[in-house]
Amino acid sequence: MFSQKAGLRILLDCWRSWSELRETREELPSDEPMTEEEEPDEDDEHAGLDEEYLREHEEATKLKTVERISIGSHLVDCWYFSPYPAEVQDVPVLFICEFCLSFFVHESELQRHALLCECKHPPGNEIYRDDRVSMFEVDGTHCRVYCENLCFLSKLFLDHKTLRHPVNLFVFYVMTEYDSKGHHITGYFSKEKHSKNNLSCLLTLPQHQRKGYGKFLISFSYSLSKRERRAGGPERPLSDLGRATYFAYWTEQLLALLQPPRNRVSLQELSEATSIEFQDVVACLEKQGVLQIKGDCCFLLLPPAKTKALREAIGRPSREVVQDALHWKGNTFLPLGSVLFAPPNATVSLPLYVFDVLLLMVVFLLHVHSVLLYHEGAWRAFETGMSTEEATG
């Protein structure tokens, strides 16, 4: 029997034997409904999604079909359903290569794979390394299989994540801990290429949680926005946990700018200095009781006692992103046909470059062909006395 409370999303749903269940003789009043309809909460993690999609989501995720994963030296309990291929569903343990994220039903398959796998780190460019962690930028267009496997893995631990969009629309920033054996994945965040948002999805793997990596990934996304000289923010809607984490990060960054106290500062200046979007700056300061609005004037009230209380509330400081260790100047992701005119910092692969060269050659040859046809028709018209249009047909 599958045990789950009606109407609720339960973490770590599981199968129970008949002997573990106890009978209850309590009966519900017949005049009361079994379930209660509730108005949708705008803060719900599925807020903003249409009802048809939510029905499909509930149907697809109501049963957890992979109980555990073995990745590296860790055996991890899974939390939610993930749409892995059918041949690896309904297994007690799914074995995953921690370097290329390939997955196997049997441990012996993983062991054979490990003898041949040459990967020791995520594909893509290593853009950051400090004394403990590295960050790799992985383009979903160029590393499709790895990014799809990463999405399958993350769906095991994210209930609200959807896999509707192809990975080529996103760039993934994969965080690793490194040692002599290679780079071991600890988490990641993704970002849609052609979007003002600086983060779409974020995950710290369960075995690496409580290390401050969640705030580090958020801080890293804003470090990239600073390099691009623009404000950014997360994709909405946010889950309750995501909202709490972001407000803690925003509060920490804004407090750092407002200490020591300044006589005059604008909200726009705070946004530009932190790359936090203007509306997020306002929402954070209002929530923390720092921003006071009287008529057309805004005041920031931040006495020492308030500062101390806020620092205690947000917990330990975020792990610092060492700016000197970040080697990244920004990316411009281009559609087909525009590679030859790309700026120097554009992300361009060799196959895409070759395709665009061939495309340009075809266009040029078609143009030459049309010019030759026109001149041939003009010469024929000159000889026969017909108009150019009649001669060219």
**Known catalytic residues?**
235
**Dihedral sign computed on CA atoms, order 252, 235, 52, 80:** negative
**Which H or E run includes 61?**
helix 51-61
User: Number of H helices and number of E strands within the chain?
Assistant: 10, 15
What token pair was written down for 259? 């200490």
Q: Which residues of 208-246 are buried (b: 16+ CB within 10 A; e: fewer)?
A: beebbbbbbbbbbbbbbbbeeeebbbbbebbbeebbebb
Contacts of 343 (CB under 8 A, 6+ apart): 332
Single-letter amino acid code for the residue at 2 = F
Q: Which residues of 64-103 are buried (b: 16+ CB within 10 A; e: fewer)?
A: bbbebbbbbeeebebbbbbebeeebeebebbbbbbbbbbb
Q: Residue for token digits 């003898």?
A: 115
Q: Judging by DSSP bridges, how do beta strands 133-139 and 170-179 pair with one another?
A: antiparallel
What is the CB-side half-sphere exposure of residue 147 using CA atoms within 13 A?
A: 24
Classify residue 130 by its DSSP letter: -
**Rounded distance, CA 181 to CA 186, Å?**
15
**Cα–Cα distance list, 165 to 55, 169, 190, 286 (Å):** 18, 7, 12, 35
Taking each helix axis as running N to C, give the angle between helix 278-287 and helix 267-274, from 0 to 180 degrees, rounded to the nearest 10. Answer: 110
**123: helix, strand or coil:** coil
**Rounded distance, CA 205 to CA 151, Å?**
12
**Rounded distance, CA 88 to CA 97, Å?**
14
**Rounded distance, CA 332 to CA 252, Å?**
30
Residue 24: φ, ψ to 5°: -120, 135
